[in-house]
């Protein structure tokens, strides 16, 4: 949430320019939502990739546990 608020605050002039040339509030809102979804999806994919990498590293680093319980 904070990243998107910072992004919007940095783009106030751009949003104003879009409104001045005729963009509707709905179009601007849609653009912000699509950007938010894209950032979230990218973050999820990067996190998923790192989690698989971490699992592999843990499996390599830990010895096999073949003893019966």
Asked if residues 32 and 3 have their Cβ atoms less than 8 Å apart, the reply is no
Considering the chain, what percentage of its residues have pLDDT values greater than 70?
90
Q: In 1-69, where does DSSP find H-type helix?
A: 2-10, 12-20, 25-61
Question: What are the boundaries of each domain within the chain?
Answer: 2-61
Return the higher-pLDDT residue of 17 and 69. 17
Q: Is the dihedral of CA 41, 7, 11, 32 positive or negative?
A: positive
Average pLDDT estimate for 59-63: 81
Average pLDDT estimate for 22-47: 94
**Residue 37: predicted pLDDT:** 94
Roughly how many angstroms between the first and final C-alpha of the chain, as a whole number?
Answer: 47
pTM, two decimal places:
0.70
CB half-sphere exposure, 42, CA atoms < 13 A: 6
């Amino acid at each position: 949430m904070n990243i998107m608020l910072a992004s919007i605050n940095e783009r106030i002039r751009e949003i104003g320019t879009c409104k001045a040339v005729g963009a509707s509030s709905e179009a601007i809102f849609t653009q912000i939502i699509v950007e938010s979804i894209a950032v979230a999806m990218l973050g999820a994919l990067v996190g998923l990739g790192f989690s698989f990498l971490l699992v592999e590293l843990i499996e390599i680093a830990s010895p096999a546990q073949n003893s019966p319980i």
